[in-house]
Amino acid sequence: MYPNLNAEMARNNITQIDISKKLNLSYSTVSDKINGKKDFKLKECKEIILNLLPGTTIDYLFATNVDSENNVNGS
């Protein structure tokens, strides 16, 4: 659901467990959020950026597959 988030996690050797610990959430909750079954809260997005993936932006990191498709089609 979040291809840029997944790519940055892979580049930086960050796991869903790392995110769950930083956000104080269960692994399954983080997995649901990454897979688009639940939404990330703005505060959670900021925590990920500030503490795990500095130098990225919310717009970039949390762009969805739908956002990417819309940009390609000019919508």
| Nearby residues of 21 by Cβ (< 8 Å), 6 or more positions away | none
Whole-number percent of the chain with pLDDT over 90: 83
Residue ranges of domains in the chain, CATH in brackets? 3-73 (1.10.260)
Between 20 and 75, the more confident residue is 20
Contact indicator for 64, 46 with CB cutoff of 8 Å? no
Q: Using the predicted structure, report yes or no on whether residue 46 has a pLDDT greater than 50.
A: yes
pTM beyond 0.75: the answer is yes
Contact indicator for 52, 19 with CB cutoff of 8 Å? yes
Residue 65 pLDDT grade (very low, low, confident, very high; cuts 50, 70, 90): confident
Mean pLDDT of the chain: 90
Contact indicator for 31, 44 with CB cutoff of 8 Å? no
Measured CA to CA, the distance from residue 17 to residue 30 in angstroms comes to 8
